Structure 1
Amino acid sequence: MHRSYQPITPTNNIFLRKRWDQQRYQAHRDKVRKSVAVLDTHPPRTYMHLHVKLTKLQKEDNRLAIIERDNRILLEKMANIMQTYGGVDNKNNYKQKSLNRTQRQRELLRITHENIAILKRITTKEPHYCHLRYEADYKAHKQYLLNITRYPQNMKKKNFMKLTEKQSKNQNADKESDKKIKKQANDLSDKED
């Protein structure tokens, strides 16, 4: 058997080399057998709360309890109907009540009183602008305009003389009406002050 063994490295004694190589090989085999894996290839740990969902079971129990309670109430109603020979009570004597009716009525009264007060203030207030004063100013402006124009608008030469006579008459009448309007405007402005 020692003759069939061929060492890899040169040696003086084949028997010793064979024995040493076998010891080294056995040590290698022991190391391989006793070695620990570097990577964790084991399946992950299983936790019970991931498989048994207690909240889901609790919700299901609550739902079943509600269904059971509704069924019991329905059964009591049916038993009552059977005992009273099926008399049906369909009368509704309930009158609708609002919890904030008085609050809404008070708010409506307050708004109504405010609206009445605003209306009274609006109707009793004298106007800020005096139309009589504006009419007097307009007539004066119109007179100034006629005084500075060289030719009257839309008039022919024949009617020009008639127009000047009429203007002089109208001017006298306008002056009197202007005096009246100015007097009324001054009276109104005195009242406002």
Structure 2
Amino acid sequence: MFRAIPTGNKVLTKKWNERNDELLGKRIKNIRPMIDNTCPSSFGVQKKLSKREKLIEDRYSEIEKDNRHLLERMSQIMNNRAQSCKPKTHSVKSLNLDSRKRSLINITLENQAMLKRLRSKKAVYSVKKWEAERKNNENILNVICEFPYKLGNNLRMRKTISETSFKKVRQRGSIDSNIEKPTTLQDLLFKKSVMISGRSFMLEIMRGNTHIQIFVIDGENQRCFNLEMSIKEVHKLIKGENYEDLVKMLMLENDELVLVKYEAKNKDERSPNISCPDI
């Protein structure tokens, strides 16, 4: 079906076909229509829509006239403002003015009586009872929570700061993440979870040969506060081995471990060994 037409010389046949295609392309390119479809030429005189232009011109002239009249009126009002007469005002008299005044007075008296009854009424809810219940709930949450309980500690923080009007000894130190517990300590005297400045900490008191160190560990923020004191100073503060009293004297202020109700005799007795390392 698609067999080539047999020819004597394929090269000449190819040239002949290419020549025919070229001539056909030229004829198609130069082809012209037999019918003239172009627009005929018109006369030199242009046509005008006189009626439409006349309507537009009349409209513009009317607008210009109104604007000029408005401008004259405005200038006249500005010039004669002082001479303009004030319009006469006629007040409409009310037929039930006295009745409305009496009803307004009665409403005012009733509102005052209601306000007096509301002020003299005792409150049904007891704020003291709420505070006691809240304190009990916070104690329960502090016991059962896996992590330190934080909600509602702002009140405790304010009370703790307001009660620190005593003389204090601050022992400052630089933060060092490489500080560890000294190996010279011999005994663990006290270990308990305590509340300091409204926050929960794990407190450890360890004893060495001549001194006692207090470690306050913040498990949530991964920090440890260290306070070092001599054994003689500790015996001056507490009776026997009642370290609960020593814990009550501790306080955190501006990320520093502070001892309240205690003042050293000499400034040289302050130990600079306070650290806040990462655990």
TM over 0.5: no
Instruction: Give TM-score, length-normalised by structure 2.
Output: 0.22
Higher strand content, 1 or 2: 2
Higher helix content, 1 or 2: 1
Instruction: Give TM-score, length-normalised by structure 1.
Output: 0.31
